[in-house]
Chain A
Amino acid sequence: MTALAWLIPVALFLGGLGLVAFLWALRSGQFEDLEGASYRALEDEPPEPK
């Protein structure tokens, strides 16, 4: 049963990590142009420096 004491926090932490990653991606605008993104992946040029 002591396994639970660290397994559950680990599970929640990993799930939470996924959620945070998604929310970050949403906030940084990665879902704004799903169509264009598929073309951008095929570009040869390096991305413009910010």
Chain B
Amino acid sequence: MTVHALPLKSPTSIPAAEFQTPSTLTLAIENMHCGGCLKSVERAAMAVPGVTGARASLAAKRVTVSYDAKLAGEADLIAALEQAGFAAAPINLTAPSTDNERQSYLLRRVAVAGFAAMNIMLLSVSVWAGSAGDMDQSVKVLFWWLSALIALPTVVYAGQPFFSSALSALSGRRLNMDVPISLAIILATAMSVYQTIRIDDQVYYDAAVSLLFLLLIGRFLDESLRVRARGEAQNLLSLQRGIATVVGDDGLPRLMPAHALQTGDRVLIASGERVPADGTVIQGTGEVDQSLISGETAPVSVTPGSPLYAGTLNLAQPLKMVVTAADSATLLAEIGRLMQAAEQGKAHYRKLADRAAQIYAPAVHILGALTFAGWMIAGASWQTALTYAIAVLIITCPCALALAVPAVQIAAASRLFRQGIIVKAPDGLERAAEIDMVVFDKTGTLTLGRPELLDANVIPEHVLRAAASLAASSKHPYAKALVAAATLRLRTVAAADNVVETPGLGLERKTKDGVERLGSAEWCGVKTAGGGSEVWYRKNNDAAISFRFADALRSDAPSVAASLKRQGYALALLSGDRPLVVETIAAEVGIDNWMAGLKPADKIAWLDARAREGHKVLMVGDGLNDAPALAAAHASLSPATAADISQRAADFVFQGSKLAPLLEAISTSKRTRSMALQNFAVAFVYNIICVPLAMAGFVTPLIAAIVMATSSILVTANAMRLAWVGKP
């Protein structure tokens, strides 16, 4: 990011109310990693005149600033943070605040249920101990009433998440696991109150509240993972916007958040900046990196009248453009919508736990009802029959479903995180375990997405040195690649003075020895029909020397492809590039099935066709043009260098220049699934042993709750193995 040395006008013209309540603002901070950064961010924000408070959160990678809207504006804050070295972007806070509310909603209930469970247990233990000793009947009743006093408000308050979920399931004529949970808790509590009034045994406040406590813990863990993934996705999306420099009617430049741009605004785009909205160039010529939109690394020349797309990168001269489509109307936003549409298809995916619940929930109810009916027929009192039925409901309580699957997923996510893979969607782990086909994008996925100089060791050293010293002053990707290759071979490259860059053509330097030129064939007076991927160097009238560039393959791409083939996955390569280039790369990597010249919609159509054939596809891609395909595929992976929107669409994001994380993501996903199934099996064995005992009346609700808790701990411990085993 560049530092803006432009005069800042305060206040800016942006009404603060447009985003949220005036005078507080939450910004996503891109590169805040340590305690030092935390402090720098807060200090930078506090230094802005009018700011009254700044609190950064390292976990959320955000800072919340309160300020006086008369003295400071959004753009001032962003500029100040950028000056301090942090990319910042305002976040639209509607969704995350509901996420945070939901999380503290659950946490409050965990706390209340925990408090109640401990106190009731204290009273219950006294009663059990007392019934074997000399406890007075009146004291026992007092303890029951005390338990009731604690349990009733707790059940009403802490049970809400289960009751409301069960109610919404029932009103939709479905059964979910919250139905038997709610039933067991309500029945156990109601019967206990009845028995307390009648001063009779079979009082089970302890069972009801402990059950609630344990289940809430599982619910909270599950929610935390989801909230974190969602928050990260939202930060990414906010950060892709940034700020724009608008030239006002008075001719003065002014900073403005990109989302507030309007059609007709004139915007200055400095060299190295991203284009903030779709528009048309009105002044300046230069080159633009459109790889975000087209997936291709070769820069595109622009002159007045050329279209510019939001998110593309200005490589050379400063450009001035007039906005033709802002914010939600940009091509970027359009691709975002295409992606959302594709995601809806995925929403139909039924999670493992839900599928299990579908079979499990009716079985639980039937068993409970059979127990009650059986004991009534056998002549037991209705209290006894109901107690046994409650014990069955508690025993069969779906801990493996409520706790074990989230626990396995959290363990898997932390294992992958240590290896540079971020799990964005928890159910992505389940979906990635089912795939049978891997589809790659070319640029930026199989390749590194940046050009590299070919035959760097064949070019004469003095030529390389001279060309690189010219190139050092340019931001063009080929120039950068040339300098990188020269630095690797020659150790140091000195930048030459007085280099003049003509956008779209090349570089020139006039010295007393003559004229040196580096650039296109035309620029150097060479008549060739070579492809676009080359640059020429010419000194005076010597023969021109060519430098050829190619997008380098990720070093382990062929071995990863071979290993995937060995494991029986079908491979395919989908690219928007020219057939010739795609064929070469496909051959190098060892992929037989390739398609070239595809548009985003073509990729989706291709994926749909595979889905109809019954294939489950893992899509690996990075470009903005891949985003819809990433969303449409059964599971998806994208490198951390990818367009932000693609990272948002992907289930996994991996870091580094190797492709190997792909293998790790697949194998961990598979292990996650087998762990989850193991946990189901553990729970199943528990049920097989305990349900007949409970139906036969050997298990009281309290023992049932304890047994259930043991099985919870067992499945959680099993899940943790995934995090520890094979630590890198």
Instruction: Verify A4–B111 contact, CB threshold 8 A.
Output: no
Closest Cβ of chain B: how far from A25's Cβ, in Å? 10
- Residue in A33, A36, A39, A48 with the greatest tally of chain B CB atoms within 10 Å: A36
Instruction: Verify B39–A4 contact, CB threshold 8 A.
Output: no
B4 within 8 A of A: no
- Residue in B108, B111, B142, B150 with the greatest tally of chain A CB atoms within 10 Å: B111
Interface residues of B in 317-346 (CB under 8 A from A): none
Q: Given A35-B58, A36-B59, are A42 and B35 also a contact pair (CB < 8 Å)? A: yes
Contacts of B35 in A (CB 8 A): 36, 38-40, 42-43
Neighbour of A36 across the interface among B53, B58, B150, CB < 8 A: B58
Instruction: Verify A12–B119 contact, CB threshold 8 A.
Output: yes
Kindly state the separation between the CA atoms of A19 and B109 in the bound complex, as whole angstroms. Answer: 11
B118 within 8 A of A: yes
Closest Cβ of chain B: how far from A36's Cβ, in Å? 3
Contacts of A12 in B (CB 8 A): 119, 146, 150
Q: Which residue of A lies closest to B58 (CB)?
A: A36
Q: Given A32-B57, A34-B59, A39-B58, are A19 and B107 also a contact pair (CB < 8 Å)? A: no
Closest Cβ of chain B: how far from A15's Cβ, in Å? 6
Instruction: Verify B136–A18 contact, CB threshold 8 A.
Output: no
B122 within 8 A of A: yes
Instruction: Verify B104–A26 contact, CB threshold 8 A.
Output: yes
Contacts of B107 in A (CB 8 A): 26, 31
Instruction: Verify B108–A39 contact, CB threshold 8 A.
Output: no
B38 within 8 A of A: yes
Kindly state the separation between the CA atoms of A32 and B57 in the bound complex, as whole angstroms. Answer: 7
Contacts of B108 in A (CB 8 A): 23, 26
Kindly state the separation between the CA atoms of A42 and B104 in the bound complex, as whole angstroms. Answer: 27
Instruction: Verify A18–B59 contact, CB threshold 8 A.
Output: no
Q: Given A4-B139, A36-B56, are A11 and B38 also a contact pair (CB < 8 Å)? A: no
Instruction: Verify B112–A19 contact, CB threshold 8 A.
Output: yes
Q: Which residue of A lies closest to B143 (CB)?
A: A8
Instruction: Verify B38–A18 contact, CB threshold 8 A.
Output: no
Interface residues of B in 506-563 (CB under 8 A from A): none
Contacts of B136 in A (CB 8 A): 1
Instruction: Verify A33–B59 contact, CB threshold 8 A.
Output: yes
Neighbour of B57 across the interface among A1, A8, A27, A33, CB < 8 A: A33
B601 within 8 A of A: no
Instruction: Verify B60–A33 contact, CB threshold 8 A.
Output: yes
Instruction: Verify A39–B119 contact, CB threshold 8 A.
Output: no
B115 within 8 A of A: yes
Q: Which residue of B lies closest to A21 (CB)?
A: B111
Q: Which residue of A lies closest to B100 (CB)?
A: A32
Instruction: Verify A19–B115 contact, CB threshold 8 A.
Output: yes
Q: Given A1-B139, A33-B58, are A22 and B111 also a contact pair (CB < 8 Å)? A: yes
Instruction: Verify A15–B118 contact, CB threshold 8 A.
Output: yes
Contacts of B46 in A (CB 8 A): 48
Kindly state the separation between the CA atoms of A9 and B124 in the bound complex, as whole angstroms. Answer: 16
Instruction: Verify A39–B122 contact, CB threshold 8 A.
Output: no
B725 within 8 A of A: no
Kindly state the separation between the CA atoms of A8 and B119 in the bound complex, as whole angstroms. Answer: 10
Kindly state the separation between the CA atoms of A31 and B38 in the bound complex, as whole angstroms. Answer: 16
Kindly state the separation between the CA atoms of A33 and B32 in the bound complex, as whole angstroms. Answer: 13
Instruction: Verify A8–B58 contact, CB threshold 8 A.
Output: no
Instruction: Verify A43–B122 contact, CB threshold 8 A.
Output: no
Q: Given A39-B35, A40-B38, are A18 and B139 also a contact pair (CB < 8 Å)? A: no
Contacts of B60 in A (CB 8 A): 32-33
B34 within 8 A of A: yes
Kindly state the separation between the CA atoms of A36 and B59 in the bound complex, as whole angstroms. Answer: 7
Q: Which 4 pairs, one residue from A and one from B, show the smallest C-beta to C-beta distance?
A: A39-B35, A36-B58, A33-B57, A35-B58
List B residues at the A interface (Cβ < 8 Å). Answer: 34-35, 38-39, 46, 53, 56-60, 100, 104, 107-108, 111-112, 115, 118-119, 122, 136, 139, 142, 146, 150
Q: Can you name 12 extra interface pairs (CB under 8 A) apart from A31-B107, A32-B60?
A: A4-B139, A11-B119, A15-B115, A15-B119, A18-B115, A19-B111, A19-B115, A26-B107, A32-B59, A34-B59, A36-B38, A42-B35
Pull 12 A–B residue pairs with CB atoms less than 8 Å apart, ordered by A: A4-B142, A12-B150, A15-B115, A15-B118, A23-B108, A26-B108, A31-B104, A31-B107, A33-B58, A36-B58, A40-B35, A40-B38
